[in-house]
């Protein structure tokens, strides 16, 4: 098996992070925005696991951290979807442009 250099993996994770950020800023559907945030969190997971495997193979801190991130991302998604459902009941839409009563 040929070794993949660490920089390639870091390039992947950074690209994923900014794709997620781009998605968050451009998408107008709340569920898609939530998915973009998950993408950003997953790029962090890749970072942690890669650093752990390549640079500090005798420690486990990074792997554990990524497990906790996955758990918390699930909790966050649960609360966010509950909020979006509640918002859908009052606004009959999950487009953020429709939920803009408060400005400036």
Partner 1 sequence: MLNEYFFVLKAEWMLIAIIFLLLFLKVGTSDWKNETLLYAINILLLVNLLVGFFSNLEGALFSGMFHNNALLILEKNILNLGVYLVSLIAYPWLKKHEHVLEFYILLLTTLLGMFFMISSGNLLLFYLGLEMSTIPLAAIANFDLDKRKSSEAAMKMIISSAFSSALLLFGVSLIYGTTGSLVFTEITPLLNGSALQLLAFILLLAGFSFKMSVVPFHLWTADVYEGAPVAVTAYLSVISKSAILFIFLQVLYVIFKPMSSEWYFMLFFLSILTILLGNLFAMRQTNLKRFLAFSSIAQVGFILLGLSAGSKTGMASVIYFLLIYLFSNLAAFGVIGLVSAATGKESIDHFKGFYKTNPSLSWILAIALFSLAGVPPTAGFFGKFFLIMAGAEKGNFVWVIFAALNMIISFYYYLKVVKVIFMDPNNQPIEKITVPALPKLALMICLLGMVLTGLLSWIYEYIYTLSNF
Q: For the residues of 9-69, what is the DSSP string, one character each?
A: HHHHHHHHHHHHHHHHHH--BHHHHHHHHHHHHHHHHHHHHHHHHHT-TT--HHHHHHHHH
CB of 4 to partner 1, least distance (A): 16
Helix (H, G, I), strand (E, B) or coil at 99: coil
Distance from C-alpha of 47 to C-alpha of 83, rounded to nearest angstrom: 30
Rg (CA), the chain: 17
Size of the site for partner 1 (CB under 8 A): 44
Contact between 79 and partner 1 (CB under 8 A)? yes
**Residue 95 bridge partners (DSSP):** 29
CB of 2 to partner 1, least distance (A): 23
| Window 4-43: residues binding partner 1 (CB under 8 A) | 17, 20-21, 24, 30, 33-34, 37, 40-41, 43
Residues that bind partner 1 in the complex, under the rule CB under 8 A: 17, 20-21, 24, 30, 33-34, 37, 40-41, 43-44, 47-48, 51-52, 55-56, 59, 61-62, 64-65, 68-69, 72, 75-76, 79-80, 82-84, 86-87, 90-91, 96, 99-104
């Amino acid at each position: 098996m040929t070794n993949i250099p660490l920089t390639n993996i870091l390039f992947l994770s950074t690209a994923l992070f900014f794709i997620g950020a781009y998605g968050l800023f451009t998408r107008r559907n709340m569920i898609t925005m939530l998915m973009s945030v998950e993408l950003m969190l997953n790029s962090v997971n890749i970072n942690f696991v890669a650093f752990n495997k390549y640079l500090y193979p005798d420690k486990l801190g990074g792997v554990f951290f990524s497990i906790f991130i996955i758990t918390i991302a699930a909790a966050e998604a649960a609360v966010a979807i509950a909020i979006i459902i509640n918002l859908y009941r009052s606004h009959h839409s999950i487009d953020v442009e429709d939920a803009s009563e408060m400005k400036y």
